[in-house]
């Protein structure tokens, strides 16, 4: 049995609506293929073996260029979700008009007159090209001023990379260089293994939000997205999908000039997702959004990363970055200050201890590097010893503890400590 057929059959049997996954996306997750191999008894390479022994490369090779298919109920049987009730049927390839002379991109459409269920499975992107953003020894100078100084980092697939720095640190310039709006003085920037400017259909490569209100105010939301779609061979149906995703369907025909800041942000995010790109880069995406909108962006970005996409986020809201980001790239005065995980960056600051005999506890855990600060009659803040070490020492001496709580520095506190000497514009205190 073919791997793609297995995937289709499993999706059909689950009755997954066709509009919810993989339609017009141009990618089948290798992870799903691997999961299929792990749980099927079909005669497939890797079937029934230990999950850790399955080679994802086999899945990439198997699904790459596989003909798109969908499933539909057999004509002589009632609609049901049982395995026997579905048959695999191919879709018909059709070409969308391209208004700018770009290469026409083939899209796949359902055959007329057929009631389809399940999900369209389409070809993988080239498995030899890893979806990521690579900044390599990039320097940008404006006259005598160096804005970005030999900066190198990689935003990898499957995680949200938080791109942080004080005002004037070079973040915006770096993001503009990533998408070819500004040329680096030296070094290079690659998106999916090549310069962004070499892409023939950039919306399909990377979705970008740099300036949410950079839209003609006389255009409606739908006309703005349609103009983008037509120049990239993207079907009208995708425009409707992203409008719905962004919660703008009800105002699709409203002129953008009348949009609030939050509505403009939603439209900018919808435009970034229009080409269903493998890489998404957003600058201050929650700016102007209400609490529901902030939660929507949070779930959206973590969901995109969970699908294996590369997500790069720049924001000054540390509380949001701490909830969304997996990895941090922090810059100051154009230079790299940190390239690490959130967990490693936000380290344990100390331990809060509440005990009836604080002096006895001091005597038990005193040692090199251990410090104590009294924060109350029965409270101590201890640094240089872990909560585990304090708890074990207290237990061996019979010292009662009413509270033993590790205290972590917030992302904001850790960021302020790191960038204290790299602030370009600092207010008087």
Q: Which pLDDT score, from 0 to 100, does residue 343 have?
A: 83
Residue 93: which residues within 8 A CB-CB, separation 6 or more?
68, 106, 107, 108
pLDDT given for residue 399 in this prediction? 94
Q: In the prediction, which pLDDT does 291 show?
A: 93
Band of the pLDDT at 260, cuts 50, 70, 90?
very high
Residue 335 confidence (pLDDT): 95
Q: Which residues lie below 8 Å from residue 5, measured CB to CB, with a gap of 6+?
A: 69, 88
Please, which pLDDT band fits residue 421 given cuts at 50, 70 and 90?
Answer: confident
What does 14-70 look like in DSSP terms, one character per residue?
Answer: HT--TTSSSTTT----HHHHHHHHHH--SS-TTTTS-GGG--HHHHHHHHTTPPPEE
**Is pLDDT larger for residue 407 or for residue 188?**
188
CA distance 134 to 153: 6
pLDDT at 6 over 80: no
**Residue range 204-249, pLDDT digits in tens:** 999 999 986 778 899 999 999 999 999 889 999 999 999 999 999 9
| Segment 102-127 mean pLDDT | 33
Q: What is the pTM of this model?
A: 0.62
- In this structure, of 5-14, 44-53, 76-85, 222-231, the range with the lowest mean pLDDT score is 76-85
> Are 314 and 175 in contact, with CB atoms under 8 Å apart?
yes
As separate numbers, helices (DSSP H) first and strands (DSSP E) second, the chain gives 14, 18
Q: What is the pLDDT of residue 425?
A: 59
Per-residue pLDDT tens for 281-323? Answer: 999 999 999 999 999 999 999 999 999 999 999 999 898 999 9
| Whole-number pLDDT of residue 95 | 41
Q: Give dist(CA 371, CA 352) in Å, integer.
A: 12
Q: Mean pLDDT: which of 54-58, 315-319, 331-335 is highest?
A: 331-335
Residue 428 pLDDT: 55
127 has pLDDT over 80:
no
232 vs 40 pLDDT, higher one: 232
- Chain-centroid distance of CA 41 in Å reads 34
Q: Are 384 and 357 in contact (CB under 8 A)?
A: no
Where do the domains of the chain lie?
A: 3-121, 133-343, 348-408
Query: Residue 76 above 80 pLDDT?
Result: no
Q: Is the pLDDT of residue 384 over 70?
A: yes
Stronger pLDDT, 207 or 42, i.e. the higher one: 207
Q: What angle do CA 263, 209, 345 make, to 5 degrees?
A: 110
Minimal CA–CA distance to 45: which of 6, 86, 7, 3?
3
- Tokens linked to 62: 């198997």
Contact 237, 108 (CB under 8 A): no
| Two structure tokens written together for 109 | 């459409």
Q: What is 348-408's CATH number?
A: 3.30.70
Residue 130 banded pLDDT, cuts 50, 70, 90:
low
Between 349 and 377, whose confidence is greater? 377
Average pLDDT rounded to a whole number, residues 148-157 = 97
Q: Which residues contact 194 (CB under 8 A, 6 or more apart)?
A: none
CATH class, 133-343 region: alpha beta
Look at 98-112, 238-252, 406-420 and tell me which has the smallest mean pLDDT.
Answer: 98-112
* Strand residue runs (E) in 98-144: 106-109, 117-121, 133-142
pLDDT given for residue 427 in this prediction = 56
* Mean of pLDDT over the chain: 75
Could you give the CA distance from residue 409 to residue 396 in angstroms, rounded to a whole number?
A: 29
CA pair distance 410, 274, nearest whole angstrom: 35
């Amino acid at each position: 049995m073919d791997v793609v057929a297995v995937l289709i059959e499993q999706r059909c049997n689950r009755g997954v609506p066709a509009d919810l996954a993989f339609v017009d996306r141009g990618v089948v997750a290798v992870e799903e293929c691997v999961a299929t191999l792990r749980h099927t008894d079909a005669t497939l390479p890797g079937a029934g073996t230990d999950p850790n022994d399955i080679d994802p490369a086999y899945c990439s090779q198997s699904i790459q260029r596989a003909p798109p298919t969908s499933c539909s109920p057999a004509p002589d049987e009632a609609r049901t979700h049982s395995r026997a009730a579905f048959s695999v049927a191919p879709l018909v390839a059709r070409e969308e008009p391209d208004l700018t002379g770009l290469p026409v991109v083939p899209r796949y459409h359902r055959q007329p007159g057929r009631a389809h269920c399940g999900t369209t499975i389409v070809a993988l992107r080239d498995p030899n090209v890893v979806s990521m953003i690579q900044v390599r020894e990039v320097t940008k100078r404006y006259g005598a001023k160096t804005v970005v100084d030999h900066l190198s980092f990689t935003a990898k697939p499957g995680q949200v990379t938080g791109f942080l720095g004080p005002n004037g640190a070079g973040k915006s310039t770096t993001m503009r260089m990533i998408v070819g709006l500004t040329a680096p003085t030296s070094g290079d920037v690659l998106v999916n293994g090549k310069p962004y400017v070499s892409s023939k259909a950039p919306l399909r490569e990377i979705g970008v939000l740099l300036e949410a209100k950079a839209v003609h105010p006389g255009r409606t939301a739908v006309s703005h997205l349609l103009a983008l779609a037509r120049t990239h061979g993207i079907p009208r149906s995708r425009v409707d999908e992203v409008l719905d995703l962004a919660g703008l369907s009800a105002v699709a025909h409203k002129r953008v000039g009348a949009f609030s800041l939050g509505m403009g942000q939603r439209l900018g995010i919808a435009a970034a997702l229009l080409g269903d790109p493998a890489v998404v880069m957003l600058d201050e995406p929650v700016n102007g959004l209400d609490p529901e909108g902030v939660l929507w962006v949070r779930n959206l970005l973590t969901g995109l990363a969970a699908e294996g996409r590369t997500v790069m986020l720049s924001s000054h809201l540390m509380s949001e970055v701490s909830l969304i980001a997996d990895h941090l790239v922090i810059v100051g005065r154009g230079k790299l200050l940190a390239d690490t995980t959130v967990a490693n960056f936000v380290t344990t600051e100390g331990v809060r201890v509440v005990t009836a005999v604080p002096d006895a506890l001091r005597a038990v855990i005193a040692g090199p590097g251990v410090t104590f600060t009294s924060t109350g009659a029965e409270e101590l803040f201890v640094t240089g010893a872990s909560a585990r070490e304090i708890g074990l020492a207290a237990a061996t001496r019979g010292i009662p503890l009413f509270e033993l709580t590790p205290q972590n520095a917030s992302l904001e506190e850790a960021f302020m400590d790191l960038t204290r000497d790299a602030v370009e514009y600092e207010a008087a205190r």
